[in-house]
Each structure stands twice: as C-alpha cells, then as structure tokens.
Amino acid sequence: MIRINENFNALQGSYLFYETGKRVKEFQQKNPDIRVIKLGIGDVTEPLSPSIIAGLKEAVSEMGVRETFQGYPPYEGYEFLRNIICETDFRARGINISPGEIFVSTGAKEDTANIQELFSGDIKLAITDPVYPVYVDSNIMAGRNKIEYLPCNAESNFLPGLPSEDADLIYLCFPNNPTGQAIDRAGLKKWVDYARQKKAVILFDAAYESYIREEGIPHSIYEIDGAEEVAIEFRSLSKAAGFTGTRCSYTVIPDKLMAPDKSGVRHSLNKLWLRRQSTKSNGVAYIIQKGAYGYFTEKGRLENMKIVDYYLENASIIGRGIAALGLNYCGGVNSPYIWCSVPEGLNSWQFFDELLSRCNIAGTPGSGFGSCGEGYFRLTGFGKRQDINEAVERLVKFK
C-alpha cells in the first residue's frame, strides 16, 4: 500500500505566503469596494526595463523561425548568459569566478529549496530566526530535524551569533529577508572562518544584492578570503530586474568547494549539482535567458539600478511612517524591507488582521518567519509611489 512522506505532517498547514494571500483574497471578496495596498509578499511592481524587453522580443522572434529556433537549453544555462554574469557580477568586482561555476535556474527559491538534496540526511543545520521559510520547510520535507535556530532580534542588532553546537550546513541571507539587515565584511568573515574551521558549508542567499548602496557591505561572499572553499551563493533577478513573474536566477558553486561522503572521499559540489540539475530539470527557457542577458548589459543594469532606487525610496518613506507611529524598525537601507515591531498588545498575526481591516494594508506577520519574528512585522518597498504615500497616510489610523 502506498504511503505518503510523513515529513509533510511536520510542516505548518500551508506555505506562509499562500496563507497571507488567501486571507487578503478573502478580505477583498467580502469588501469588493475597498482597495487593499499590498506591501506583503514582496512582489515587484515596475515593468520590465527596455533592455530586457528588447532581449525577450528578439528571442520570441527567433523561436518562430526554423533557422534560429532553440530546443532544449543547456542544463547549466546558455554560455552567453553565464559569461556576462561572470563579467558583471564578479570579475568587474575583482572576484575570480568562472562561467563553469555558474548555474542558471528558474529561481533562487527553487535553488535554495533544492540544494539540500546534495547533503546527507543527518547533518546539523544552522538557520537564522526569523528566516525565509523555504530553508526550513525544504529540510523538514526531507526529514532533517537537527536544526539550531540562531536568534536575530533587536538585542543582537538583527545579526546571528555563531552556533552553540557545531553546524554542518549554514543558511545565511544578506541583505536579509525578512529583517532587511545587511552584514559588513568583518561580520561575514566571521562566518567564513567558522565554516573553514568546522568544515561546514555556507548557503549564502544574496537575492537582495542589488539593493546594497552603502560602502563596506560585501556584494558577494566570495569577497571574503577562502569563501570559495566553503560557500555556495544564490543570486536572483526577481528583485534586481523585476523578474518575479519572469523567473530567472543563478547559483554559484565554486570548483574548489568539496565535501566528503561517509568514507571520506571528497566530491565536487559543482559536479554533484550538475548531476542533480541535469537529472531533474531541463534548464531555463531560451526566451527568458535572453531577457536576463538584456538585464546584464550596461544599459540594462543602469535602467534597473534606477528602478531599485525607486523601491529603496519607497522603503524609506514607509520607514518614516512607521517611525512616526513610534514603532522601531530596521531595514529600508540596502534592502526593500522594513522590519518593524508591532504595537503593544498585539501579536504578529493580530497586527496583520488589524492592518488589513483598519488600514487596508497587507503586510507579512513576523512570526510567519520563525518564533523570533513574533512581535515583528514585514512591510515591503515594492509598489507605486502613490500607493506607498497613501499607505503611510492610512497608517496614522494606528496612532
């Protein structure tokens, strides 16, 4: 008789953003005349920039003609895309990453969820709390339960301390989702040194790299000496290039990154990931990769830098609105996220419901990101300026 994967029973009923989405939808169905301003899921709102559209259009035309039609893409991504990624995101910053170390995929969510498949079932995990739920849920689904949560709260300046027990696999995300906190070079070096000492692997989620505006904040973990021996880095075009609905990202697995099996034989994680990807996927659509290429051109980067600046200014406006309510917050600098404390007497989900019904603003309850997120709330800087301004005006109802 068939039986289900029991580990699903250990998960919460539904994925966080599925739940918040459902509550907002229900509210809107009951209140069709009310316009809810969505500052919850962190979805971009500006259209794709001209360079990206040009790449997409060209690719669509090519797909309609026999001579330029493209079939199965390479599992690792087209060379034209891996080359320009390498140049713009790494070599231009003096970081020595080669195209063979880059794997293009449909999303950093997919990659951060799937990467755990490369590792043994009984390793010890270190995961920050609050955290993007995918890291935890993907491991719970796979049956891993040795998880040390590293609290990130006001006392620790929203940065995690080193694990108390030796960790084997460490999830870090900077600039952080959900707290918006960035990490400086010294702070990140501490983690790379720890991983080297403990023979651990760091999974570094840099999906918000393009929001970094301050000096001294590393754009890549490979800016830190020795990181290429201990770290995998995830990058995404979702928030950098407006690709939430277009789906493209990439993952860096350096050739120097090795890990042993039980017999002590060391394996290249780059080769292991290629085996995983070539077995379980057929790569990313040609059209999408051509659009992504448009983003990485000089013109495309400039266009999108301006869009990111727009979202950063939105976040900053929300931050001022939050501060005016007398609530503390972090983020909004080097990040599109505002992570604020909720008003006294309410928990995160209560604030979610109150904010939805009283101000008609959808946010994300901090406790959805982990137990240390209780008492906090995430708002995003995505949206039209007009809506952001209106949201801040509506917030005064909480005074």
What residues from 6 to 65 belong to the interface with a copy of itself (CB under 8 A)? 6, 8-9, 11, 14-15, 17-18, 41, 43-48, 50, 53, 56-57, 60-61, 63-65
| Binding test (CB under 8 A) with a copy of itself, winner from 28, 70, 83, 316 | 70
| Binding test (CB under 8 A) with a copy of itself, winner from 183, 288, 355, 395 | 288
Radius of gyration of the chain (CA): 21
| Binding test (CB under 8 A) with a copy of itself, winner from 26, 31, 35, 69 | 69
Kindly provide the residue ranges of all beta strands, DSSP E only, lying in 14-101, ordered along the sequence.
Answer: 37-38
Is residue 119 a contact residue for a copy of itself (CB under 8 A)? Answer: yes
Beta bridge partners of 102: 252
Taking the complex as a whole, the smallest distance from the CB of residue 370 to a copy of itself amounts, in Å, to 15
Taking the complex as a whole, the smallest distance from the CB of residue 309 to a copy of itself amounts, in Å, to 17
Q: DSSP 3-state assignment of 38?
A: strand
Which two three-digit tokens encode residue 155?
């006392």
Q: Note whether 235 and 101 are within 8 A (CB).
A: no
Stretch that binds a copy of itself, among 72-80, 95-103, 220-228, 362-370 (CB under 8 A): 72-80
**Nearest C-alpha neighbor of 151 from the set 382, 384, 375, 370:** 370
Taking the complex as a whole, the smallest distance from the CB of residue 59 to a copy of itself amounts, in Å, to 9
Is residue 278 a contact residue for a copy of itself (CB under 8 A)? Answer: yes
Taking the complex as a whole, the smallest distance from the CB of residue 8 to a copy of itself amounts, in Å, to 6
Which residue lies nearer to a copy of itself by CB, 46 or 148?
46
Which two three-digit tokens encode residue 112?
């951060």
Q: Which of residues 306-365 bind a copy of itself (CB under 8 A)?
A: none
d(CA 21, CA 3): 30
Half-sphere exposure of 363 (CA within 13 A, CB side): 36
Stretch that binds a copy of itself, among 87-95, 219-227, 282-290, 317-325 (CB under 8 A): 282-290
Is residue 200 a contact residue for a copy of itself (CB under 8 A)? Answer: yes
Burial class (CB in 10 A: 0-12, 13-18, 19+), 29: exposed
Taking the complex as a whole, the smallest distance from the CB of residue 52 to a copy of itself amounts, in Å, to 8
Q: Kindly tell me the sign of the dihedral angle through the C-alpha atoms of 310, 312, 37, 208.
A: positive
DSSP H stretches of helix in 297-380 = 298-324, 348-354
Which two three-digit tokens encode residue 363?
């946010």
Taking the complex as a whole, the smallest distance from the CB of residue 33 to a copy of itself amounts, in Å, to 21
Taking the complex as a whole, the smallest distance from the CB of residue 272 to a copy of itself amounts, in Å, to 6
Which residue lies nearer to a copy of itself by CB, 122 or 214?
122
Which residue lies nearer to a copy of itself by CB, 285 or 346?
285
Stretch that binds a copy of itself, among 91-99, 284-292, 302-310, 351-359 (CB under 8 A): 284-292
d(CA 77, CA 100): 10
User: Residues with Cβ < 8 Å from 167, sequence gap 6 or more?
Assistant: 124, 125, 126, 148, 198, 200
d(CA 293, CA 295): 5
Which two three-digit tokens encode residue 38?
């969505």
Which residue lies nearer to a copy of itself by CB, 45 or 98?
45
Q: Note whether 383 and 38 are within 8 A (CB).
A: yes
d(CA 352, CA 367): 11
Taking the complex as a whole, the smallest distance from the CB of residue 344 to a copy of itself amounts, in Å, to 33
| Binding test (CB under 8 A) with a copy of itself, winner from 77, 101, 103, 109 | 109
Mutual angle of helices 286-296 and 50-63, in 10-degree steps: 150
Backbone φ, ψ for residue 145 (5° rounding): -135, 5
Is residue 81 a contact residue for a copy of itself (CB under 8 A)? Answer: no
Taking the complex as a whole, the smallest distance from the CB of residue 46 to a copy of itself amounts, in Å, to 7
What x/- string results for residues 132 through 171 when contact with a copy of itself is judged by CB under 8 A?
A: -xx--xx--x-x------------------------xx--
Is residue 305 a contact residue for a copy of itself (CB under 8 A)? Answer: no
| Binding test (CB under 8 A) with a copy of itself, winner from 118, 147, 305, 325 | 118
